[in-house]
């Protein structure tokens, strides 16, 4: 098992398949993009499956989520999903995506064994979408959402980040849209993971502010029926239920004490926290001929070093050198 010194067990593996993305969301990267990782540094499909298989069979991982960058850009994604779903014991297999191309791939991914998707959608306004993402692709995202639901990849979750002065007035419209279409909405506080290192706490829309905006139009109350467990989102009922909305207060309401996640970057580095400043290199050991026992012990050692919390409120906090696109959500 992947257990740290605070007795937290990592069972949820987030695997980045690429640092590339076809959007340029301002809270992640600059409009001109970034220098992508050279292809030889990326794990091959077989290397991904070697490490994912090890995590599931020998290290207690029960959920595998593929992320990016944009994982739909990974040509071998359906095969990776199929091979993951065939592992024993079978993990839950999910995907975090911006939705572009999901209209074509939702069916094949569902057939391959994908269980569900999380889709990023911060606005319903085409002009605001272009301002945020520097691309005119809102219709493609909406088509991807519809295709995911039609393919049975449910619950289809939508992740939304509100930014002050840009889309923070859209909390209520986004919730109405999700209720109407049967999607499950989760708002996420903007985190200090942008490549530009321009994040400031003052500009961040906090969880309290999100709930206040929603409460202006809905009766919002804590969801007492469902135990949060290790889930990052606090759940709230809308107008008495059954619909619920989630709020992930990564900065103002940290949930580090119950964290069960560990991350593997596209170039084979283990990160025991989204905000970690150190990584453990499994790729080079794998390519040097390390057996499963050695790789497993390296992975355990990486998780044992996990800190008690992300430390954003600590004066010594340093933003990770890698942006979100290179870490994996």
Mapping DSSP to helix (H, G, I), strand (E, B) and coil, where does residue 14 land? strand
Looking up tokens 């219709």, which residue turns up?
Answer: 139
Name the pLDDT band for 164 (thresholds 50, 70, 90). Answer: very high
pLDDT value, residue 318: 64
Looking up tokens 């084979």, which residue turns up?
Answer: 268
pLDDT at 194 over 70: no
What is the average pLDDT across 144-165? 96
What is the average pLDDT across 294-298? 98
Ranges 27-31, 96-100, 175-179, 325-329: which has the least confidence? 325-329
Looking up tokens 């999700």, which residue turns up?
Answer: 178
pLDDT at 196 over 90: no
pLDDT value, residue 325: 73
Distant-in-sequence, close-in-space partners of 138: CB < 8 Å, separation ≥ 6 = 123, 124, 125, 126, 129
Looking up tokens 């206040």, which residue turns up?
Answer: 212
What is the average pLDDT across 40-55? 98
What is the average pLDDT across 170-188? 97
Q: Examine residue 242 and say whether the peptide bond preceding it is cis (omega within 30 degrees of 0).
A: yes
Q: Between 191 and 130, whose confidence is greater?
A: 130
d(Cα 238, Cα 243) in Å, to the nearest integer?
6
Beta bridge partners of 14: 65, 263
Indicate the average pLDDT of the chain.
91
Rounded to two decimals, the pTM is: 0.93
pLDDT at 223 over 70: yes
Ramachandran area for residue 17 (φ above 0: left; ψ -120 to 50: alpha; else beta): alpha
What is the average pLDDT across 319-323? 68
pLDDT value, residue 50: 98
Name the pLDDT band for 169 (thresholds 50, 70, 90). Answer: very high
pLDDT at 145 over 80: yes
pLDDT value, residue 159: 96
pLDDT value, residue 35: 77
What is the average pLDDT across 288-308? 96
Looking up tokens 């990782």, which residue turns up?
Answer: 37
pLDDT at 195 over 60: no
Tens digits of residue pLDDT in 21-40: 999 888 777 777 777 899 99
Classify residue 173 by burial, with Cβ atoms within 10 Å: 0-12, 13-18, 19+.
middle
């Amino acid at each position: 098992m992947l257990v740290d010194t605070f007795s937290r067990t990592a069972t949820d593996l987030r695997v980045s398949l690429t640092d590339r993305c076809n959007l340029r969301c301002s809270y992640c990267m600059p409009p001109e993009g970034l220098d992508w990782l050279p292809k030889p540094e990326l794990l091959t499909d077989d290397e991904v499956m070697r490490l994912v298989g090890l995590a599931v069979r020998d290290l207690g991982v029960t959920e595998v989520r593929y992320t990016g960058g944009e994982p739909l850009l990974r040509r071998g994604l359906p095969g990776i999903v199929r091979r993951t779903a065939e592992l024993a014991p079978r993990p839950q297999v999910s995907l975090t995506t911006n939705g572009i191309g999901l209209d074509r791939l939702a069916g094949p991914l569902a057939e391959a064994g994908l269980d569900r998707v999380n889709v990023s959608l911060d606005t319903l306004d085409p002009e605001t979408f272009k301002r945020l993402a520097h691309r005119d692709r809102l219709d493609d995202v909406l088509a991807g959402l519809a295709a995911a639901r039609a393919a049975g990849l449910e619950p289809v979750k939508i992740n939304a980040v509100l930014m002050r002065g840009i889309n923070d007035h859209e909390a209520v419209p986004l919730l109405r849209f999700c209720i109407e279409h049967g999607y499950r909405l989760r708002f996420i506080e903007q985190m200090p993971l942008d490549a530009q290192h321009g994040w400031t706490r003052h500009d961040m829309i906090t969880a309290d502010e999100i709930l206040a905006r929603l409460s202006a139009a809905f009766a919002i109350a804590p969801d007492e029926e469902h135990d949060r467990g290790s889930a990052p989102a606090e759940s709230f009922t809308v107008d008495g239920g059954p619909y619920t909305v989630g709020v992930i207060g990564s900065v103002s309401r940290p949930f580090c004490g119950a964290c069960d996640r560990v991350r593997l970057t596209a170039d084979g580095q283990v990160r025991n926290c989204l905000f970690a400043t150190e990584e453990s290199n499994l790729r080079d050991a794998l390519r040097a001929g390390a057996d499963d026992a050695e790789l497993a012990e390296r992975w355990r050692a990486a998780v044992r070093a996990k800190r008690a919390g992300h430390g954003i409120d600590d004066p010594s906090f340093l933003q990770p050198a890698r942006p979100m696109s290179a870490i994996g959500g």
